[in-house]
Amino acid sequence: MYYFLDSGYVIFSLLVILVWIIIAAAVASKMQSIAEEKGSKERYWAWCFWLGPVGYLMVLALPDYVAREKLENIREEVKTASWNSSTSKSDKYQEDMLPDL
């Protein structure tokens, strides 16, 4: 009558819950490391563990502060790059052209 109180069913249910907790903790740890790689200083482990896919989407939607900083550095290097003033534009154009066949 009460098959859900059977010891086999209870043990199986507990094992399933334990496996789910282990998998959720592993995925939440990975999402936390992804958030840290993106430069986030907030802790997203709990969000990912308790909310599951909603927490994963929160981490995936985070802006990448590390890539943004690298792009800013590249932009500054391009702005401050000094071009050789002795070479005119026509000389540069000639250097880039392929030889005639």
Other Cβ atoms less than 10 A from the Cβ of 98: the count is 5
pLDDT band at 86 (very low <50, low <70, confident <90, very high): very low
What per-residue string of b and e applies to 78-93 under the rule 16 or more CB within 10 Å gives b?
Answer: eeeeeeeeeeeeeeee
Q: So what's the pLDDT on residue 24?
A: 97
Q: Any idea of the CA torsion for 38, 41, 45, 46, to the nearest 10 degrees?
A: -140
Question: For 30, left (φ over 0), alpha (ψ -120 to 50), or beta?
Answer: alpha
Task: Say if pTM beats, i.e. exceeds, 0.85.
Answer: no
Q: So what's the pLDDT on residue 31?
A: 96
